[in-house]
Amino acid sequence: MKTALIILAAGKGTRMNSDLPKVLHPIAGAPMLHHAMRAGAVLDPAHTVVVAGYGAEAVAASVRGVDPTAQVVIQNEQLGTAHAAAQAREALAGFDGLAIVLFGDTPFVSPSTLEALAGSAADVTVLGFEAADPARYGRLVMNGDQLERIVEFKDATEAERAITLCNSGVLAAPAPLLFDLIDAVGNDNAQNEYYLTDLPRLARARGLSVAVERCAEAETLGINSRAELAAADAQFQATARADLMESGVTLVAPDTVYLSLDTVVGRDALIEPHVVFGPGVTVESGATIRAFSHLEGCHVSRGAIVGPYARLRPGTELAEDVRIGNFVELKNATLAPGAKVNHLSYVGDASIGEASNIGAGTITCNYDGVMKHRTEIGARAFIGSNTMLVAPVSIGDEAMTGSGSVITSDVEDGALAIARAPQVEKPGMARKLFEMLKAKKARQSRGS
C-alpha cells in the first residue's frame, strides 16, 4: 500500500525558552524534525506533509532542505493534535493509501518500527510501548489483541493507571478513514481541543479493528525542554557510536566522539579521542582521524590520516594516503593522493597535486576582502615553510618555493621561486638598540 507521512511540527515549545521553533532545535547536528523525516523516508512515501505553525517560514525552509517535494501546511491555531492532522486533508485529497501521523519532536521512531506500522492489517494502528515508569503517559486499554481506547492519566482509574502499555501518539490509518474519524472528534475537554487519542474509541464504536504495534520506549522520547534535548542528543550518540563499532570502526574512546545524523565511517577506520563530526562527513575504510580534530562537510579517502588538532571545513576532499597534521585548517580544498600538509598551515580554495608537500606555516591567501580566489599546486611540488601564496596563483609540477616567500605570480613546472627581501646586517646595532630601550624603561620607571 502507498503511504503518506503527516508530521506534526506546529508547536512553539514554550519550555525551550527560545525564538527557534522547537522542531528546529538540533540533535546530532540536524534539526529534530529531520530525524523524523529521515526515518519516514524508508517507506518511500508518496506524500510527506509537514504541519507547521510557529515559525512556519523557518520550518518550511528546513523541510525543503531535506525533501523539496514535501508539502508544508499551516495550522494557524493550535487546537490539538487531531486539528493539526486535519490540516493535511487538502494536501492528501484523492490519496487513498495509508497515512502515518508522526511528531516532529519525537525524532527517534526507527525505520523498522515504521515499516511494521505500515504492515499492520488493522483499520487503525497505534504505536505503543511498555514504559519502565508510566508516569503521566496515556494508557492503552486493550481487549485481547484489540485496542479499546486510550485513557489519559488524569482520567484513568487506579486499575487503568496500573497499565504499563503507553501511547506514543504515533498512529496509522488509511487517509480517507483518518480524516473521517477526525471529523467525529469533539473538543469536550478542559482544553477545548481536538485530540487524536479519541480515534481508537471512535473506530471501535464503528466496529473497526484497532491494533497496537509495540516499539522500544527509547524510540518514543519526546522533547520539550533543553534538558530533554541534551538527553536526546546523548541517546543518539550512544546508539550511533555502538552502531559504528558494530560495523567495524574502532573508536578509541567512544564517549568522547561526537557524531552527526549523516556521519558515514567505513570499517577499519580508526577514530581517536575527542573527534567532532559535523554534518556532511564521509570517512572511508582504513582512514585515521587523530585526536581533537573537527570535520564538517568533507570527504576523507582510505588510508588518509587527519590530525591531531586538525580542522576540515566544508568542501574539503582528501584522496588516498593524504596526510594532514596538527593545527592544519582546510576549506574547499582538494588534495590528490599522497599529498601532505603536516602542520601549522591554512589551505583554502585550493587544489594540491599528487605527492606534493606543503611546509609548516604555509597560507593560501584566498580572500581579498570581497572575492575568494583559488590556488593551484601541481604534482610533486614542494612549498617551503612560511610561504604565503597570494591567490589567484598557480604552482607547477615539481616546482618549489623558498621558505618565507610571498608568491604573487605563477611558478612554472620545475622552477624554484624565491620572493623575500634581501637580508641586511648592521654590526653592533642590536646592543645599541637594547641599551636605548633599557634606558628608556628606566626613565619611565623613575617617572612613575
Q: What is the pLDDT of residue 125?
A: 97
Task: Judge whether 25 counts as a catalytic residue.
Answer: no
238 part of a folded domain: no
Strands (E) in 164-322, as ranges, are 165-174, 210-215, 250-251, 264-265, 270-271, 276-277, 282-283, 288-289, 294-295, 298-300, 305-306, 311-312, 316-318
| 177 plus 274 within the same structural domain | no
Instruction: Flag whether 237 is in a domain.
Output: no
**Shared domain check, 254 and 203:** no
Nearest to 81, CA basis, from 105, 64, 97: 105
The C-alpha angle 334, 336, 340, rounded to 5 degrees, equals 95
| pLDDT above 80 for 413 | yes
Q: Is the dihedral of CA 302, 303, 308, 312 positive or negative?
A: negative
Structure pTM?
A: 0.89
183-204 burial string, b = 16+ CB within 10 Å, else e? eebeeeeeeebbbbbbbbbbbb
Same domain (yes/no): 348, 206: no
CATH number at residue 262: 2.160.10.10
- Does the structure show a pLDDT above 90 at 167? yes
**Do 38 and 179 reside in the same domain of the chain?**
yes
- Could you tell me if 111 and 204 are in contact, meaning their C-beta atoms sit under 8 angstroms apart? no
150 in the same domain as 9 = yes
Share of the chain above pLDDT 90, in %: 93
283: containing domain: 249-417
pLDDT at 191: 80
Are 133 and 159 contacting, i.e. CB atoms less than 8 angstroms apart? Answer: no
Total domains in the chain come to 2
What's the confidence (pLDDT) of residue 448? 66
Which of these is catalytic: 34, 299, 343, 373? 343
Query: Rounded to whole angstroms, how far apart are CA atoms 10 and 7?
Result: 9
* Partners of residue 326 on adjacent β-strands: 343
Kindly report, residue by residue over 286-298, the tens digit of the pLDDT.
999 999 999 999 9
Q: pLDDT tens digits for 33-59? A: 999 999 999 999 999 999 999 999 999
Q: pLDDT digit string (tens) for 318-351? A: 999 999 999 999 999 999 999 999 999 999 999 9
Residue 197's nearest CA partner among 143, 148, 161 is 148
How high is the pLDDT of residue 445?
87
> What pLDDT, on the 0 to 100 scale, is given for residue 134?
87
282 and 401 part of one domain:
yes
375 plus 263 within the same structural domain:
yes
Predicted confidence band of residue 135 (pLDDT cuts 50, 70, 90): confident
285 shares a domain with 211: no
Average pLDDT taken over every residue of the chain: 95
